[in-house]
Structure 1
Amino acid sequence: MNLETNKTMKEIVTNLQNWQTHKKDVDLMNDLLSKADSFKIDYKVAEDNSESFHLYPALVIFEDENQNKSFELVFYMISKNRDTDEFLDKHIETIGEFIKEFKVINKQLLQNTQITEEEAQLRKERWKTDLKSWIRENEMFEVFDIPSEDFNLNDEVIMQGHFGMKVAEEDKVLSATGFSPDIIIQQLNLDGSSTSFFDMARLSPPFGRRDIEFALLNKAM
């Protein structure tokens, strides 16, 4: 894959590399993630019947005239079916049609995949109280794998991803508080008539195999 010939893919890979470079900086991660609230999901891409979607955290780095750096947290979304070396290499010239960037909104937040609004709010509150402890004790996440059932990609529904902390069922993602990072998908009808919260996000690491499941991540390594 020749990144020099494709500006979009080069930017994506650079921003993924920025996350890899800075993810062990505890102070920076705590600063960025503690104020992260949500992001709007706008994924107008042709369906490919994928069983899940991959959400990758990335960092856009800005530098002023005095070489002072600032960081913006974004997420890239691509379907699992298209997150392969073969697909990425074949469609490099049009990759922006299949990988969408979501800018994170920084403000304070709100087994069946659907959860109650009260549970969603509780998880968002934990993001504020338990995140710092988790960052100190665990390897920083690189991707969220979220089942397609959590998404409603038709034009009549507004979707947002909210950051939270859920009860961790696996010892390898536990912090001292017993919670792990989470992305809660909120679906809201355009007319405001109903809202639903869904959650079956799978965190990687520790789950999933980078060499098999997450081709886009390998481009940044």
Structure 2
Amino acid sequence: METISNNQVPLLPLDRVIDLKLPELVQCRLCQGIVLNPVACKNCEKAVCSTCIHNLNATKSEPICPYECGCSSYIERTCPKTISHILSTLNILCQYKPNGCPEIISYTKFEEHEKECDYQLSTCIGCEQKIIRKDYEEHERQCPFVLLTCDQCSTSFQRKDTDLHTSIECLRIQLQQQTSKIRQLEIKESEQQIKIDSMQQKVQEYEKFWIGFANTTNQIRGMFDK
């Protein structure tokens, strides 16, 4: 008989349940935590996390029961009502309790709570510290390493450098920008002047051509008049 591995990380550890009774009925054989989104073996009717059992049998040609109940092939069924009822009575500590979350949530609602929990950690875009969600906006408004964008010169700088940028750097950058614009205008003016000179040269060449043409025409007419 194939040995079942028990090295999966618990999806819902037992120590997050308040006053857990009858743990053997609601503990997953594979991850050793409380069964999450449970299903059961049709033969022995023992519950297991749906994710755990699917991971176990994902690469097997013949699915097996993690409880080694003796069934020839694991056939999945819905979780027995007795186990579902026990699960519905469980009270769960939020996984963000170490960050300060005081909530105790029912088994049926703890996943929804944890998706929106204000004690989740977010990484500050400035200092890259881990900040709990409820404090993040206030932290970001004050973090000295958050990038700001100057309204005058459109340059980005860290909040801690605001005074330096406003008093010196911004003026220097604006001067550079204006100098660059002037240079671009000078280049365009030079290009336009080249075009004008070229056109004037062509006009002179046309005038010279038509003067020569007129002189030649007059000479030919003079020859016929004689």
TM over 0.5: no
State TM-score, norm by structure 1: 0.19
> Which structure's CA Rg is the greater one?
2
Structure with the higher strand share, 1 or 2: 1
Which protein has greater RCO, CA pairs closer than 8 Å, 6+ apart? Answer: 1
Structure with the higher helix share, 1 or 2: 2
